Structure 1
Amino acid sequence: MRQSHVFLRNIIFIFIFSQTHSLVSQNFQDSSLPLKQRVQLLINELTLEEKVSLMVNKAAAIDRLNIPEYNWWNEGLHGVARSVPATVFPQAIGMAATFNPNLVYRVATAISDEGRAIYNHAQSKGVYRWYTGLTFWSPNVNIFRDPRWGRGHETYGEDPFLSGALGKAFVQGMQGNDKNHLKVAACAKHFMVHNGPEGNRFTFNSETNKKDLYETYLPAFQDLIDTGVAGVMCAYNKYNTESCCGSSNILSDVLRKEMGFDGYIVSDCGAINNLHDTHKVTRTPEESAALGVLSGVNVNCGQVYSLLLKSIELGLLTEKDVNKALSKQLEIRFKLGMFDLVPINPYTTISIDKINNQAHVALAREVAQKSMVLLKNSNNILPLKKGIGQIYVTGNNAADVNVLLGNYYGVSKNMVTVLEGIASTVSKTTIVQYNQGFLVQQDVKGMKTGQSGNAANADATIAVIGLNPLFEGENGDTPFSITGGDRKTIELPENQLIYLKKLKEQISDKPLIVVVCSGSAIAMPEVHDIADAIVWAWYPGEQGGQAVADVLFGNYSPSGKLPITIYKATSQLGDFEDYSISESKKTYRYFEDSPLYPFGFGLSYQPLDFKLEGTSKLSMKSKDTLNIKIKVRNLADFEQNEVIQLYVSKTDLSYPTPLFALKNIQNVTLKAGQSKRLTFKLCKTHLQQINDKGEKELPKGVYKICIGTTSPAARNIELGAQMPIELTIKLK
């Protein structure tokens, strides 16, 4: 009798299980169903309380549906950040200095492999902690319009074309190439016109005209949208008096309808709270929650959306509005494979052996090498010989791990400072001596400059100076900044300049090589005058110190280019809070004065020989595509990489236009003595101008084209760069 009861119970259990499984297999977990149908099936299963619980970045678990908790907030700007130890690549501004979309794609592929591996492993262990998710809030494609902005080193620089090209490559590498599934979800930020001041980012109202909006601030976002970026983060500030996270005009009319964005929108963290707290466009948190949803924000980074039940009770919005907002973010989670009963996402098999593996460490070194910008090299003092007798290494950044990291960084077991890189590169008979020389904020007037005798006796002195992320970065993360992460002035800190001058006095006519670590422009004309060689190293990642040594000692011929303008003085900048570009003559495209180092500038150890093939006077119609061919030859007896840049200029119109604007780039690697032919395809897209109404125009007439290893700024020639090829095109 007992056995028959057991048998009957098992039969009932099997029946119930099979029915439940059958229902589930036809429900939201059924991966054979269309995406939007699965999303709607899940929404139908959820109670209103459960829906609201999924609308914040720390989404709650829905145990009855076997949905674990999930935190949307993850960071991957230049490596998986704030998580388990992972590969630390150069900061974004350093990657921008490579001018190399394919390299950025490779970096993003490595980051997403590591991010997916961390997630897969964490899920298998039942770990759902912050910074283990698949929604990465990167890249930052804001325009670095002013070097005083502390977060500028998160960006790809001041040029919209370069920012868009590198941003697209980053998104493609992050999200993978499967048409139905995402490896991870990238996110373009901060929409829509946002780049300082950091100290009042919660209250600031950025203002521009239509021309600057469509010529400078929106193109990179458009490029990422066109390549299928999964997310967009709305900014803290107001734009033209409208709250970026509380405006249906900004998020619905412009972002979704005009620009064609079809992913999820997340608020910057705390931005929904700003609507009532600092922007004063609402009176209560409940009103802010409703306005955020109705404006189009799908995920609230923060907790204001937890009040949506109350907002609905007050009649400020409906459950239908919540469903609409929820559906967009659920689409992303489905594409990531979070609700599949049987895993079909091809990226679920990526394992932890991808994390900080040898290939990724080697890639970090390669990117750092290619990011180094040689700004000066008097009498070809570089590269130094590895067998040099004695060198003296000094400076505040020579042995500092902070300068490898930038911000939004992870940690790695493979950190190599500049001092360590030098020590591992020189010969076994080279004497290497080191002294920091001074403390970061120390008054050095009247003090002795460390081991002065050692500097005087050395065959070369390497001074590693500049800033670090404690001086420039996000509001709250920069204890040495008195302006919330920004800088009031861009001059080199006085104690560093004094120290360098004293050092130069001690070493007399022996070589002084200056390595600058910084995420933004530093005005330092006096350093240019006293240094024999200058290398700009950015915040170069875990292998940064080794990459610096590779350049200094000839393992790699520098090929980096400036993605920013380095000005001579703060006085050249104008008002920090002025977001106008064309009228205020900002960024290289409109700046009429002479900078210290122009955008696009960067020397190599041996100039290439390059020449135009064909005539320098061309004509075309708007429907045509021109092929401009050049031949480049490496005259050196070693391999070199080079960036060939194409700029377009048309300055005879009735409205302001750029002095010249970057429109195309090609990266070329040439073995010793090797020649290659390169073809630049030019069509109407490259010639289009933006008028005062923010509209694209294609004016007829003559356009000037410059192709070379730098921009066509006159200052480049003064600094030793090659003259670019010039040609004209008449558009009929």
Structure 2
Amino acid sequence: MQNKKSIVYAFVLFVFGSLQLLKAQELDLSYMDPNLPIEERVELLVSQMTLEEKISQMVNSSPEIPRLNVKSYDWWNEALHGIARNGKATIYPQAIGLGATFDPELANRVASAISTEARAKYIINQEMGNHSKYAGLTFWTPNVNIFRDPRWGRGQETYGEDPFLMAQMGVAFVKGLQGDDPKFLKSAGCAKHFAVHSGPEADRHHFNAEPNKQDLYETYLPAFEALVKEAKVEGVMSAYNAVYGVPASASKLLLSDILRDQWGFNGYVTSDCGAISGVWNKLKYVKTPAEAAAVSVKAGTNLNCGGTYKSLSKAVEQGLITEEEITESVSQLFRTRYKLGLMDEDLDHPYFKVGKEHIHSDANVALAREVAQKSIVLLKNSNNTLPLSKDIKIPYVTGPFANSADMLIGSYYGVSPNLVTVLEGVADAVSLSSSLNYRSGALPFQKNINPKNWAPNVAAESDVTICVVGLTADFEGEEVDAIASGNIGDKVDLRLPQNQIDYVQQIAKVKKGPLVLLIASGSPVSLEGIEEHCDAIMQIWYPGEQGGNAVADVLFGDVSPSGHLPITFPKNVAQLPSYDDYSMQGRTYKYMTEEPMFPFGFGLTYSETVLNDLKVSTAKMKKNDVLNITIDVANTGDYDIDEVVQLYVSPVEVTGNIPHTSLKAFKRISLKKGATQNVSFEIESDDLKVVNTDGEKVWRKGAYKVIVGNASPGALSERLGAAKQLEQTIVFK
């Protein structure tokens, strides 16, 4: 009897297997034909998937489907300032440093170099069968959330506090990542985190942001809109938090009404990692994983970084979502994969043949050094302390980050065999006759232990003391990464750790020569109590693998500093509104009424910039007119420089919630010593509209000042050494 059952069972299996084989033979494999349009290939492929197969492809770690020749793929990849978490790669300065260059063309070159390196690494990974996380081509970068509060630990990932600057840099970066082929993507960028997301990190999974419509459309959305409309960014990442009471990943307003319907977005939307789970278990918007999955897909989130979408089959059973809706959502993911060439092996793809020689190439290393040079901001230079002579007899390099490789890399970094510390850069630059000394002198974050610390006293014997202080991504960063701040990634205040302040003050009491302070951080640092003791101060950010060489290039005058602050440096937290308040009043240079320590856009060079002959095309401008502005920019000093010419528009009378002033254009130019260059700007009338309380761009009549300078408008900029600004009043009719 048992044998008969076994025979029957074997027969059933044989029949079932034959049916499956027949079914497989009946597959329409034309979706593998690279000559067909991508849209047609996607439809042919997805239409032959089972419901479970479709659902399996909607999580970041998507498994293979052997019967359809679909390989496994992990969508989670990072390239914030170089390929991250995937082995050897060039490490460029952190994003905030790139923002300080005010150079979109440079941002484009960096992103293009990153994507070329990424293609080379992807080819090698495929040959090795490595389909793991961080080994793909869908990069979840850039972060274009506004750096609205300097306490935010992840502000270092952004290009600064200004929506216009953020948009210009972000668009250029995305274009560099994605390439210029009309059909295929070099790699896929992703604008994150959509939207109204900039801390506090401790509350990011729970808070509900309810900005007024004016702030939403004036501040929080413009960079995302620019990346969608101008850069055609392929991906958008939804944020953890809720907006107007609805989780961002489940927000029809954000993902359907604004992103797709208003802006015409035609890419994929991914959740932040774990955000779909948060829809039900943290934000309590729905009660079950199935409900969270259904409401997120229906709102427009195609991909779940996490595993909650595995509950979609249960959601279908419960009538919460249809298979047709799942089909539509997963189809978008395969459009992206086809555009990247991930579905083809031997396709004549313009980015398929990139050699390993592009990985951490000499050209990329040189580019990392150039970016670091251009990102450094000279904040103070009393009595022309800088540049230093390479023949200085007794230079002293000290401070907790003078010999730190960890300080160079910021957050979301790769691995480089060529990390150059400040000490190494200085040691390589100075003359062999120099008696260079080094002591760390202070611990990064903890109380200095040795009561008989001799390190400050070395300054009493030195011709110059170069002290490197600041923070690292251990102190400021993402909720899950920063370990030393005591505030889950964010800063409690803007001061340096007290032991570093004490150390600088100890040096100041005994120093023989000038004290040059180098500040490494991804955010504004208050210098109250130490600024007056320093002869020169440079903000070096997290300068990447060539940071030490770039710092030395600037210190010793091979390159004049040319970075400008992409964010206001307040004096202290007392000047800031409550961190969890998403109103823009009192925030950033556009709305701040108190005088900060250093203003937005500020940065000195080793020369002197003089502005002359401001010309504005009209004194009375009407809607639909074009405003043309020209100005002569002269370098009257003794050094060749790069300068950032900035154009602001300020209402003569500020009423309501409109900004006090707004950056409308900027140009980075190179000027030989003694040279003058005529710089022109063309401003469309749409760019001069203001956002009203309903979130609408409107033409606001009245008198405005057109102001051109090399820092944001105000007496403080000129008092600190910026060029005298020129202005002209015009009337909007």
Q: TM-score, normalised by structure 1?
A: 0.95
- Please name the residue that 2:507 is paired with: 503
1:599 to 2:603 alignment: no
2:258 paired residue among 244, 254, 267: 254
Q: Which amino acid is 1:216 matched to?
A: T
Q: Secondary structure at the match of 1:346?
A: coil
The answer to whether 1:432 aligns with 2:453 is no
Q: Which moved more, 1:134-143 or 1:325-334?
A: 325-334
Q: Which of 169, 193, 196 is matched with 2:196 structurally? A: 193
Residue 301 of structure 1 corresponds to: 305
* Counterpart-to-counterpart distance in 1, 2:46 and 2:293: 20
Query: Is residue 145 of structure 2 the alignment partner of residue 146 of structure 1?
Result: no
Q: Greater shift after overlay, 209-218 or 523-532?
A: 523-532
Letter in 2 for 1:288: A
> Partner of 1:99 in structure 2?
102
Write the distance in 2 (CA, Å) between the matches of 1:525 and 1:622: 46
Residue in 2 aligned with 1:611? 612
State the shift of 1:282 in Å: 1.2
* Residue aligning to 2:702: 701
Contact 1:629/1:679 (CA < 8 Å) preserved in 2?
Answer: yes
Partners of 1:615 and 1:442 lie apart in 2 by: 55
Q: Distance in 2 between matches of 1:446 and 1:74?
A: 44
Contact 2:378 2:561 in 1 (8 A): yes
Helix, strand or coil at the partner of 1:429: coil
Cα separation, 1, equivalents of 2:409 and 2:116: 20
Superposed CA RMSD in Å reads: 1.7
CA distance in 1, matches of 2:353, 2:525: 45
Residue in 1 that maps onto 2:533: 530
Between 104-113 and 693-702, report the one with greater CA deviation: 693-702
- SS of 2:314's partner is helix
User: What percent identity do the matched residue pairs reach?
Assistant: 48
Partner of 2:112: 109
Which residue of structure 1 aligns with residue 159 of structure 2? 156
Letter in 1 for 2:100: A
- Paired position in structure 1 for 2:218: 215
1:442 deviates by 3.1
Equivalence for 2:232? 228
Which of 513, 517, 520 matches 1:517?
520
Which residue of structure 2 aligns with residue 12 of structure 1? none
Kindly tell me: are residues 222 and 619 of structure 1, through their superposed partners in 2, closer, same or farther at Cα, counting changes over 3 Å?
same
Q: In structure 1, what residue type is equivalent to 2:198?
A: N
Distance (whole Å) between structure 2 residues aligned to residue 703 and residue 441 of structure 1: 47
In structure 2, the residue corresponding to 1:442 is in which secondary structure? coil
Q: Distance in 2 between matches of 1:23 and 1:144?
A: 50
Rounded Cα–Cα distance in structure 2 between residues aligned with 1:533 and 1:449: 24
Deviations 1:82-132 (A, max 9, x none): 002100000000000001000000000011111111111211232212111
**Would you say the 8 A contact 1:404–1:544 is kept in 2?**
yes
- Matched with 2:393 is 389
Shift in Å at residue 446 of structure 1? 8.7
Are the structure 2 counterparts of residues 634 and 263 from structure 1 closer, same or farther at C-alpha, using a change threshold of 3 Å? same
Output the amino acid matched with 1:269.
Answer: C
| CA distance in 1: counterparts of 2:501 and 2:655, whole angstroms | 45
Which segments of 5 or more consecutive residues in structure 1 lack a partner in the other structure?
1-15
Amino acid at match of 2:117: E
1:69 aligns with 2:72: yes
CA offsets 1:318-371 (integer angstroms, 9 cap, x no match): 111110110111111010011236412200111211111011000000000000
Point out the more displaced range, 71-80 or 584-593.
Answer: 584-593
**Structure 2, unpaired ranges of 5+:** 1-20
**Is 2:718 the counterpart of 1:717?**
yes
Instruction: State the AA in 2 paired with 1:132.
Output: A
Matches within 5 A, 1:53-68: 53-68=56-71
Counterpart Cα distance in 1 of 2:648 and 2:529: 30
SS in 1 for 2:680: strand
Deviations 1:463-483 (A, max 9, x none): 000111100000121110211
CA displacement, residues 391-424 of structure 1 (integer Å, 9 cap, x when unaligned):
1111111111111111011111111011111111
Contact 1:435 1:450 in 2 (8 A): no
Q: Following TM superposition, by how much is the alpha carbon of 1:284 offset from its aligned partner in structure 2, in angstroms? A: 1.1
Q: Deviations over 1:495-522 (max 9, x none)?
A: 11111111111115x2000000000111
Q: 1:689 — aligned with what? A: 690
Task: Name the aligned partner's letter for residue 530 of structure 2.
Answer: V
Whether the 8 Å CA contact 1:648–1:686 is kept in 2: the answer is no
Q: Do residues 399 (structure 1) and 403 (structure 2) align?
A: yes
Aligned to 1:354: 358
Measure the CA separation in 2 of the matches of 1:690 and 1:445.
Answer: 54
For residues 372-521 of structure 1, the aligned pairs below 5 Å read 372-444=376-448, 447-508=451-512, 510-521=513-524
Conserved 8 A contact 2:444-2:471: no
The question of whether the paired residues in 2 share the 8 Å contact of 1:394 and 1:434 is answered with yes
Specify the alignment match of 2:13 in structure 1.
none
Quick one: distance in 2 between partners of 1:197 and 1:517? 22
**Residues 438, 450 of structure 1: 8 Å contact kept:** no
SS of the counterpart of 1:331? helix
Distance 2:271 2:309 in 1: 11
Aligned residue number for residue 32 of structure 2: 29
Report if aligned partners of 1:600, 1:711 keep a CA contact under 8 Å in 2. Answer: yes
In structure 1, the partner of 2:170 is 167
Aligned with 1:131 (options 129, 134, 137): 134
TM-score by length of 2: 0.94
The offset of 1:217, in angstroms, is 0.3
Structure 1 counterpart of 2:16: none
Find the counterpart in structure 1 of residue 15 from structure 2: none
Secondary structure of 2:589's match?
coil
Aligned to 1:278: 282
Q: Residues 478 and 559 (structure 1 numbering): CA distance in 2 closer, same or farther, change over 3 Å? A: same
Describe how 1:562-641 pairs up with structure 2 within 5 A: 562-581=565-584, 584-614=585-615, 618-641=619-642
For residue 610 of structure 2, give the secondary structure of its aligned residue in structure 1: strand
Counterpart in the other structure of 1:558: 561
Deviations 1:219-259, CA, capped at 9 Å, x for gaps: 00000001200000000001121110112222111221122
